[in-house]
Each structure stands twice: as structure tokens, then as C-alpha cells.
Structure 1
Amino acid sequence: MSKIKFYFILLIATVVSISSCNKDDNNDVVVTPPKPFGEQYALDIVAIEDYLKTNYISEIVNNPGFPNDQDVTMKKITDTASQPSLWSYLNSPTLPRLTSRNVSLHGITYKVYTLVIREGVKGGSPVAGGEYPCNVDAVFAGNKGTLLDGTVFYSSNNGQVQYNLDGTSHDGGTGVIRGWSEGFPQFKTGWLSSKNDGVVVYNDFGVGVMFLPSGMGYYNDVKTGIPAYSPLVFSIKLYALKRFDHDADGIPSFQEDLDGDRYMNSFLKGVSNPDDTDKDEIPDFLDFDDDGDNYATRGEVKDANGKYYEFDKIPDCSGNQTEPTRKKRHLDATCIKMNQ
């Protein structure tokens, strides 16, 4: 027998042997493709709305100056006369208020519910509070995550952790799931004070709960304490925020939210974006040339000495800096730019 024929027969035998061992040992790796998003969302929204209709706020801790201040506990309703459901707060003119927001993602439209218990107010501290984050800012927040059955998978009142709502880990922050960027902009930050021992205290911060379909969370990923396809409930306390300038054009990203709704979409092809001046499908907060005139925005928002204007003082093409309805020159493609 030739060497070539011998090695060929040996190779075939080896492959058959290996294949047989894998089957006999039951070690085959089976990869299950993710469920269609629309199919899973249909299940999630039913489960979430059932939770909202059958649970109530059983306790809100009032303990100013301590980590557990404004901790929220929800339980199953046992007495409909004295325990108003979370659903009963839907679109309430007063707080608590349950709101819903439609979000286009994964080729479907999600409904995301947020319960605003305390919006957050501005205090008398020299360190001002009472600011809304936009969905690409960073927040410092307490949060408790639970499943719909009440199982707690995470809890922290550490106000020193930076959570990046844009989902990235830049600037030393922790990227978060998409659902957080939909809920947090409905709350205001508190204000800071300190005790005699130097411990920082957060006051009058926003308090509420987010109810997230699995597609706005971890979906088919399994995390510690979180099974695949789990809708999530997050009780949150918004202590403080941090602004970014994503495109380094001298204008903080939150000030490039043209319609002022605190939500900016990124790279949505074929979708009208109110925060995209030149309609190039790049939102202004990521666009180095907002008006598409081939002049970099960062050069259009500087004075003749190369100093950045305060945002409210950016002039229009005529140099007007006070008219509230003026079109600022970095958003006017017809304006001849002098300071480049």
C-alpha cells in the first residue's frame, strides 16, 4: 500500500472516530439563534403591563442624608381599596406619574414605561442641581434592579459610579443598557451638601422606576441573576450628571439637542432626525460640520480671538447675539464664515 493511500485512509478513520466520540459524549455545541425581537416584545409588554396593574408602592424610605433615603419597594396588591396600582398613575397630572415612551429599535416600536415618583428639584446649595440629563450624558445614580417576580439582582446607592447613557465606557464610565437612556432624562438631579465628617449628601434628587422590555436590556444574554429574555425593573435615584462634547466642536452635546426633548438619536438611516441640521443622517452632537457648509463647527463658534463663545452668545450671520429666534451661524450654511 502506498504512503498516500495509507495516510488518506488514516485521516478518514480519524475524522470518523472524532465525530463518533463527540456524539457519544454528548458534547455537541448547540447554538440557538436569538428569538425575533417582535415576537419576544409581544410577550414582554404583556408581562410588564400585568405587573403594573397588579403591584403597588408599598414603601418609600424617608431618611434624608442616608444612603437608603428614597429607597422604593413595590409589592403585589392584596387590598385594591388601599393599595393603588402602579397602572393607576398612568398620565396622572400629579406625582407619582406613570409615563410611556415609544422607542424605535430592532425594527419594531417598543413602549417603555417610567414611574416618576419625585422629579427632582433645585436646592439652595452653592452646587446647583435640578438639571435634566439628556440621553447621551453620564449620570451618577443609586439603583436597584429586579425581575418581575421581585428577585433582586443588583443594588447600589454609590453616588460615585459614572454611568454613561450613550452606552460607551469612555471617560472612565460604565456603559449601560439602552433602557436607561430612555428613563433617566425624565428626572432631575439633586444638589450636594456635606456632613461635618466630610461625607457627601445628596438632596432632593429625582426618584422613580423604569420598566424595561428585554430588548431594552440584555435580551438573550444571561447575566448574574438575570435569565435570558428577562424584562427588568430598575428603581433609580438621580444624584448628579456629567456632560460630554462627543464631537469636540466646543458645544456640549446636550446643547445640540435642537428640539429640546433631551433625546438624540444616532445614525438612524432614512429616518427624519430633528437633531440633524444638514440632514446628512449624522446628528449634530456627532457631526463636526453641523450645517454641511464644509466649515468645521468648532471654528464657527469662536470669536475673532479664537475664544469659544458661550452657547447663548453664539451670533447669527449678522453678528446678532441676543435675538432668541436667530439662526446661529454654525447652523446656517448660507453664512460666510470669517473666523476659521
Structure 2
Amino acid sequence: MHPAFSVLFFTTATGAGYGLLALLGVLGGLGFIQPDFWLGLVGMMLALGLIAAGLLSSTGHLGRPERAWRAFSQWRSSWLSREGVASVATFIPAGLFGIGWVFFGRSGGWVAGAGLLAAAGAVATVYATGMIYASLKPIAQWHSPYTLPAYLIFAGMTGGVLLNALLQGFAVGSAAVSTCALLATLAGWGWKLAIWRYNDRLDIPTTANTATGLAGGTIRSIEWPHTEENYLLKEMGFRIARKHSAKLRRITQLLAFAAPAVLLLVAFVLQWPLAAIASTLAAFSQLAGMLLERWLFFADAKHTVTLYYGRE
């Protein structure tokens, strides 16, 4: 698949934003993170800002962005529509939670309720985003048991590392949050390695024979349906050299997982403000790495429509 930057930024930014929002809603609403005006304001602005920027970016990949609103009407059958509905609905409890926690300095009660609803909405939105790709049967690399958990794990991972950087920046770092961010990063690393191993060993049963419905012998394309490169091949038949893919995988592991894990460990033994600097660098490194991870997620995917163009 063609890795459009608008979609890469959308999935990376909204995943981190919803992950951070869910953690703030639960930990802030229940009082594990004490109300503080500037911490709460920066945290909510960061979470909602990433979400809004990602959602706006996603319209850049549409042929007619002004018609994006129509997607909301298909929520009964479309995961894309369900994602849109869930994302908008989540802003309501998130706004109420932000008002109570940031401006009123309260936790518990209705603030906790709003925070938990915002967290549930964030998880539901990420779930719907993951299902958009996991439900696509023509793309075997996505239609697997690994895709949906990956979206949820990566959202929790990036949100946790952002939360740790936020707390460290305000000199209220929590050993529990730092530990969870580190464990989530290691879990995300392990899950990504499992995905690559699964995809590399994937035996796709679809061939030119099954795609055309013609049995017997070996079907091969004598002449393409089109005389030149078209939209389908540009979008669905994007190809990346194996050696480039291997190199990008190593860089992804370094930026998204290894470097953040080391920086989080370093932050454990450093005092403020050095711990805050290390935690912030971990967040920036991970977000950059996840952009590259998203690029590979799309570039490595193969759509069965390419079988009609003689590609195996």
C-alpha cells in the first residue's frame, strides 16, 4: 500500500493522543494524579491537540474532503464511520473532565465519571481504527490477529511515555508511571517483532487462479488491464526493496523502542531536570519511530488486486 503521510500522521498522532487522554482520564479522575492547573492544562491540550491534528490530517487523503461528514452516517456497517462517531463523542466527556480536573481542581465524583467515559471513548476509537485495517480481507498482512492488539498496545505505549514526560516535566514524576511506560515500550517492541515474523512467514493462499476463478494450470497475465501505471497500482501495489525494508525495520526498533527504553531507564537514576530531559527525548524518539513504523505498516502490505497485473 502507498504510505500517504496524512494517514501516517493521523494514526500516530491520534494513537498517542487517545492513549494519553485515557491515562489522564483514569489516573486524574480517580485522584492518582493530583489536580494541578498547569499540568492538567498542558496535558489536556497535548492529548486533545494530537487528536484534533490527527483527525484533520486524515482528511488530506480524501478525494473530496468536504464530503467527509457523510462517513458518519454509515456507522451500522463501516468501521471508518464508527471511528468518526466515537472520536467526536469522546470530546464530550473529555471536555467535562478537563473542566472539572483542570479548572475546578477536582477529582472523584462526576469528574471521575467523565474521566472514565473519556478513557472508554478513547479506547473505543482506537479499537475502531484498528478494525478498519484488521477487517480488510484482501490485505493478508492486515487481516490477522496481530493488527487490532497492535493499535491498542501502541496507543497505550505512546500515551504512557508522553504521560511520563509530562509528569517529569512538572517535577512530579511517578515511579509507577515510569515503570509502566517502560514495560509498555518493551511489550510494543515484542509485539512488533511478532508481527514482522508472522508477515514474513505468511503463506497467502490467493493466486491468479483463485482471483480470476479459473482452475487448472498456471494463470499468468499476458497483458495488463491498463497500458500504464494507474491509481490501483500506485495506491495498492506499492513495492519496497527487501534490503530497504530490513534497514528501516532496524531504524524503527532503535527509535520507537530501544532508545526510549534506555532513556526511561536513565531517567530512573537521574534527578530533575535531567530526568525530565531524558523522558522528553524518549517521547520524541518514540513518536518519530512510530511514524516510521506506520510507514512500514503500509509499505509492506500487499493488496490482492495486484494479481490482476501479474504481480505475485
Q: What TM-score does the superposition give when structure 2 sets the normalisation length? A: 0.23
**Which has the larger Rg?**
1
TM-score (norm 1): 0.22
Which of the two has greater helix per residue?
2
Greater relative contact order (CA < 8 Å, ≥ 6 in sequence): 2
Q: Which protein has the bigger strand share?
A: 1
